[in-house]
């Protein structure tokens, strides 16, 4: 977490199974819910990220995701060990009193 200028940001990072590239373009669209089995084989509804994006944007912020899927191969055709997801939320800071 941190702040710079008129923005504050929060970054959440994990080393889980990542999000497939095929899902990333649709992950924030409520009309196209995306879901997959999680690290512990749990399932989701696919509606969480659209809800988060709506909430963040209502407060004038934005959200971004960078992810590397566990099945994604590197340039040598190997399964990389650095898979996981980074989600960054940026919000406008309140003016000082």
pLDDT tens-place string over residues 15-32: 888 888 888 899 898 887
Tell me the pTM.
Answer: 0.77
**34-72, pLDDT tens digit by residue?**
766 665 666 766 788 999 999 999 999 999 999 988 777
Instruction: Please report which confidence band the pLDDT of residue 33 belongs to, taking 50, 70 and 90 as the band edges.
Output: low
Distance, in Å, from the CA atom of 50 to the CA atom of 45, rounded to the nearest integer, reads: 11
What domains can be seen in the chain, in order of their start residue? 2-92 (3.30.565.10)
């Amino acid at each position: 977490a941190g702040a710079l200028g008129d923005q504050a940001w929060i970054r959440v990072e994990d080393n889980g199974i990542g999000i497939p590239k095929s899902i990333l373009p649709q992950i924030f669209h409520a009309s196209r819910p995306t879901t997959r089995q999680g690290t512990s084989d749990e399932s989701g509804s696919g509606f969480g990220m659209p809800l988060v994006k709506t909430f963040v944007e209502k407060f004038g912020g934005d959200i971004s995701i960078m992810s590397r899927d566990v099945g994604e191969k590197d340039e040598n055709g190997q399964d990389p060990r650095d898979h996981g997801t980074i989600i960054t939320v940026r919000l406008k800071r309140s003016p000082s009193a």
